[in-house]
Amino acid sequence: MNIIFKLLLLIIFFLLIASCTEKISYSGKIFNFDNNINNFNNKKDVIDILGYPNFIDPIEKKYIYFSEKRKSKNFFDNQIIESKLIVFQFNENDIIQFVQEYNLDDQNKIKFIKDNTESQIIETGLIEKIFGGVGAAKTPIY
């Protein structure tokens, strides 16, 4: 009995230590910005250095690259460290027309509104919820 108790205590201790480890995970492309994105000349340069895009806009043929770095300790403590979106638009000769870089770090600063819409159903009682529609309204005759 004493050995089982010590073993159980040891397992709980290891689970507590393991849940406190910090993990960094990446999603999308991992950008290496040794080469400046404004130094690219054409579509071939972009694909050779950054690889194929995460998404290609089917209408305007824009190349969209997404990258996100996330830090997590446990289920409740997840944090986005860095999040970027880079958009390349090419002309008909595959030369870069413009490059736009979006910083998506503002998504951590979203504030939720606590206002609620009032509901008549919550204020009614159980019997009225069950039988509330019986005989209460008269249908119009046309």
Angle CA 73–76–79, to nearest 5: 60
Q: Calculate the CA 18 to chain-centre distance.
A: 25
Structural domain includes residue 5: no
Structural domain includes residue 54: yes
Structural domain includes residue 125: no
| Tens digit of each residue's pLDDT (9 = 90 or more) over 5-16 | 888 888 888 777
Residue 57 has pLDDT above 80, yes or no: yes
Structural domain includes residue 41: yes
Question: Which residue did the predictor score with more confidence, 22 or 7?
Answer: 7
Structural domain includes residue 62: yes
pTM: 0.58
The reported pLDDT for the residue numbered 106 is 67
Beta strand spans in 45-77 (E) = 55-56, 63-72
The reported pLDDT for the residue numbered 48 is 86
| Tens digit of each residue's pLDDT (9 = 90 or more) over 81-123 | 888 888 999 988 888 888 888 888 766 566 767 777 666 555 6
Structural domain includes residue 113: no
Q: Which band of pLDDT confidence, cut at 50, 70 and 90, is reported for residue 63?
A: very high
Structural domain includes residue 123: no
In terms of residue numbers, what domain contains 98? 21-107
Structural domain includes residue 42: yes
Looking at the 3D structure of the chain, how many domains does it have? 1
